[in-house]
Structure formats: C-alpha cells, structure tokens
A and B are shown apart, each in its own frame.
Chain A
Amino acid sequence: MRLFQSIVILLALASTSLAQISVRQVSVVEVSEKSEKIGQFAVVPKDFKAKPFNIVHAKWETKVPQERIRIKLTDSNRRSVPYIDLKEEGIVVSQIGHFWLEVRGTHTYFDKTAQDIVFYEIDEEVDFFVDTLGPTPDPDPEPDDPDPPTPDKIDNLSVLIVYESALLPTYKKEHTAVIQSTDLRKWMNGNTSLDAQRFPNWRVLDKDTVFPVNSDIVYSKWLKTPPSTLPYLIIGNKDTIVFQGPLPESVEEVKTLITKYRK
C-alpha cells in the first residue's frame, strides 16, 4: 500500500474569459491510496474562513498517463454542478463554493507503480480555473469574518457508518474500534432521531447491504452511490446530507461531528 501523500493544488479565480485574476493556494488534506481507488480528499483553502467561493461539484475525466481516471467535485449534499472540462488545463465550474475533490482510477491503473500517479505528486501542481459566471469577486475582499458560519443543523438526523465487511480485518484498529464501539452506539441512541417505531436512526452497514425492493429507506438512498473511500461516515436526513467523509479514527470525533449538525 502506498503511503499517504499530500499535494498542493493551485486554485485560480478567473473571469468569464478565463483570464486569471487571482490565485488562491489550497491544499489537499491527504490522499489515501488503497485497493482500487486513490481515495477522497478535500480541497480546502489554507485560510479556510476566507471564502468568496465555497462549494462546487463537477466531474472531470482525463487520461493520466494512458489510463483513465475520473475526478468528481462534490459538495456535502452531493449535488452536481455544471462544468467545462479543459482536460489538462483544468476545469471550469459555474458557481462559487467549497470544493470536495474525489479521484478514482481503474484497477489496472493502480496495479502499476507509483510513477503512474505522477499527476498527483506534490511537485505537479494542478490548476483549477473557476469560472465565476456569477458576480465577479471583489478584487480586494473585506477581511474575513473571524467567526465561521454555523453549520446547517438539521432535524431528524440520521447517521450511517459504511464499511466493506470483506476487508474489515485489514482496517486500522482505530477504525474497527469506532465501527464496533458500544459507547458510540449507546450515545447515538440518545443523539439521533427516532423512527416511527421509536428506534434510533443510526446504522453501521456494509456498502453492499441488500435492502427491501423499492425501499425508500434513507440509508438505501445514500448507498446508491457507494463511497469512494471506506470506512465512511454520512450524516443527514431524508432530504439532505450535511456531512460525508472518511470515518474519523476516534469515537469522540464522530460524536463531535454529529453534535455539530444535530438541531
């Protein structure tokens, strides 16, 4: 298994003509390379509070080298956003927002040596050109609000931890401890919503779990798009997903996230 690696991506703001008007450096938290997927990682501005642009979703397909990979930009609600694929030059997206970048490749791609992923190495900066079709950003933005906005808190909060049971013995023991935690289960019993039978709305499921036919169960809906990285955590309700990402390695971190979004 390859090691985690950090990469730096330059996120550039451009006008509608793609003329670069400013550059903001953002960093990818980490890239997990395991099994068939590179993994999912966040593109987060270093000065996270300063955000004239926040969330954008898009897909990007290109060939790196000789192999097909797919890039998907997603927001916390998994909404897709129209984009223009500029191949090696980057992508153009049409709205402002936080970027969550997911990269996938084929199995054969990852069977090869690390040289094949040169595209993602730290000295290979990737430029993303954000086409601000909306209002042009203020070239001299006001100082950022020192208080970050309160996250969206939702009613009827549900929690799903997703894993692949065939790989459970290969997971980090910290992840296993979260997946198997009775402390977290008891805590979630009192901190998630209750269904019609007064049963708490949390589940810990294999990604391939078989649901009843024509089920409208929220977890079934969420698993229709399998997470790219496992184990994974999803928080939301039947209408929206407010958080999704790699499963934290401690129970306390999971509790903190749930508390953050629970109304």
Chain B
Amino acid sequence: MGWTSDLSKDFIINESDRPDGMRSTDIDIDHSLPPSGFKTGYEKRDLSKFPVGSLEGAVGSTEFNKEVPLIPYDEFPERIREQEEKKTRLSDIRMIGNKGEPIPSLDQDGQGFCWTYSTAGGITLKRAAMGLPYIRLSGHSLANKLTKFQDRGGWCGWSTSEATKYGYVPASLWPEKSMDRKYDTAEAWAMAQNFRITEGFLDMDQRVYDMSLTFQQIASCILSGIPCPVDFDWWSHSILGMDLVYVSDKFPVTDIRCYGLRIWNSWRDAWGFLGTGVILGRKAVPMGATAIRNVTYYEGTAA
C-alpha cells in the first residue's frame, strides 16, 4: 500500500464507509449524532419539489462552473501529502490562529443554526489565514436576522450570500446562543460590516438551498486555502470543509472513495478531535456548498 493520510488521530464520522476494510471497533456507533442539547439545523430538502442539483456532474447548466478553477484529480494525492508534511492545510492555520494557539470551535448549542455557524467558521478561518486577530463571531446574530428570531434550519448558501451584505456580529456584542433581541442594534450591525464576505464562489443563479460546488471544485478550493461551508442532507447538518484527506490508493484518483473531507463542526471542541472530524467517501459530497475567498479587513478588537 502506498501513501495515504494519517487519520489515526482523526475522528471518523462515518466509519462504515471506510473503503479499505480497516474499520474501527466502534463501527456501529453513529458519530454523526449531536451531543446532548445540540441540534443540527440543515433543512431537509423536498427532492420532489427541488431536485438534486449539487452532486458532481449534475450542476452544469450555468456559467458558474467555468469560473471555479480546478486542480486536476491526479494532483490531489501529492498535494495532500505535501500539505500534510509542510502543515499548510487550513486545519493547520486554525491550530495557530489564536496567537499561536488553536482557534476554539464555535458553539451553536440549543438552536438549529448550523447553517450560519458553518459560514461563521469560514470567515474566522479566512481571517486567520490573512493574519488578522482572532475575533469570535456570533452565528446566532445572522441566523436571527434572517429568521426573525425563529429557531429554524437553513443552508450555507443562505448564510454565505447574506453574509456578503450583513456580516456577523462579534460574540462580544451578541453572545453566542443568545436569542435576545436586545443585541439586535444598529451599532452591532455596523460592527458586523467588518466581518462580511467580499469575494467567494457562490452560484448566484441558484436558490440558496441549491447553491453548490462539485466535489472537485470544493477540493480545489480547500487545497488552495479557500474554506468551504458544506451542507449534508444525510446528516441534516451544515459545517465547514477545511481539508482534503487521502484515504485509499486502491481506486483511481477520480474515485470519491479515495478521499475524505476534514470538517470543522460547531459543537464545541469537546466533539470529535478538537471539534473536527473526517467524512469519508461518497458522504463527503455535499448537497450544498459555497467557498469563502475573501473577507473585509478589520484588525480592531471588536470590543
């Protein structure tokens, strides 16, 4: 067997999908279940009403696909290997992004706002990559603005596209998990303008629940340091895609079973490995996805 990613320290979310037979003993445990008190929040699609439009190969009707540069599949294994050796993955940047320490995972406890937290994580990670100070963002701020303080699900396409207008209020001004309307102030949203997405790959021809990227597009982005919020229908959950991992060399490099996606969840650091986990194989192909290329520059304290 040739080189593959070392996943010995990783939290594998879907063990049963390991392609090489090297499965752990806790295969029957469903690692995708949220901890007590937590929710997911991705809204299940009515596929009869809104047909699948995000699986690889299915999105091809718009000019959008031509705009996202692709890294060839045959370069994936070597690039993954180099990134792991040189520690140039987004997860590596996360591990030093808080004055040399890991950036803590977000905490959506209580409400089904995963779809705003996945994008908040992407902005946080992009700021770290830019060299900007770590400022914790409130996923609840944008979620409550969009849902009018209703606890309901959504999609990363919704939060990403709205984050280009409103941004996120820092947790110092709108505490995480708070549904309190007293934080919904003009001053808070003026500050949120400093935490907007300014450039990304969003399929604006699609409705927010259909905004997606192919797996190759996602892989090309995260191999290039562009974080990708991703929605999974099977998990009813939205999280942040950080790294591509090489799981098996037993298949052609174009086979999805070769790969996995290391994701950053919003269920605190206690979940998985410091809040991260790996989704293997076909389940790593999301139902919806966006890419966060650039965010506003803000080097203040947001206090």
Interface, chain A (partner B; CB < 8 A)? 165-171, 173, 176-177, 179-183, 185-186, 189, 195, 197, 199-200, 202-206, 208-212, 215, 217, 219-220
Contacts and interface: CB of A to CB of B under 8 A. Distances in A.
B89 A180 contact: yes
Interface in B129-150: 129-133
A182 B87 contact: yes
A217 B179 CA distance: 36
Contact of B225 (A176, A200, A219): A176
B226 A181 contact: no
B93 A166 contact: no
Contacts of A166: 67, 69, 199, 293
Contacts of A181: 86-88
A169 B220 contact: yes
Contacts of B75: 173
B96 A185 contact: yes
B233 interface: no
Contact of A212 (B89, B194, B199): B194
Interface stretch (B27-35, B116-124, B275-283, B294-302): B294-302
A180 B129 contact: yes
B69 A167 contact: yes
Given A168-B69, A170-B69, A180-B93, 6 more contacts: A166-B67, A166-B293, A180-B225, A185-B131, A199-B133, A210-B296
Contacts of B224: 168-169, 171, 176
A204 B133 contact: no
Contacts of B220: 169
B131 A165 contact: no
B221 interface: yes
A165 B294 contact: yes
A177 B86 contact: yes
B70 interface: yes
27 contacts: A166-B199, A168-B69, A168-B221, A168-B224, A168-B226, A169-B220, A169-B221, A176-B225, A180-B88, A180-B129, A181-B86, A182-B88, A182-B95, A182-B96, A183-B86, A185-B96, A189-B100, A197-B301, A199-B133, A200-B131, A203-B130, A203-B131, A206-B294, A209-B294, A209-B297, A210-B296, A211-B297
B71 interface: yes
A210 B297 CA distance: 6
Given A180-B225, A186-B96, A199-B299, A165 B293 contact: yes
Interface residues of B, number: 41
A105 to B, nearest CB: 22
B117 to A, nearest CB: 22
Nearest to B301: A197
Interface string B198-220: 11000000000000000000001
A170 B72 CA distance: 10
B16 interface: no
Contacts of A169: 68-71, 220-221, 223-224
B70 A177 contact: no
Contacts of A185: 93, 96, 131
A183 B82 CA distance: 13
Contacts of B83: 177, 180
B268 interface: no
B92 interface: yes
B79 interface: yes
Nearest to B216: A169
Contacts of A167: 69
A212 B69 contact: no
Given A167-B69, A169-B70, A206 B293 contact: yes
Contacts of B196: 210
B297 A212 contact: yes
B163 to A, nearest CB: 14
A176 B224 CA distance: 6
A206 B75 CA distance: 24
A217 B130 CA distance: 14
A210 B197 CA distance: 10
B88 A195 contact: no
A168 B79 CA distance: 14
B198 A208 contact: yes
B69 A217 contact: no
A66 B226 CA distance: 40
Nearest to B224: A168
- Give the residue among B69, B93, B131, B297 with the most A Cβ atoms within 10 A: B131
A189 B199 CA distance: 27
Contacts of A212: 194, 297-298
Contacts of B299: 195, 197, 199, 217
Interface in B46-79: 67-71, 75, 79
Contact of A179 (B69, B133, B194, B225): B225
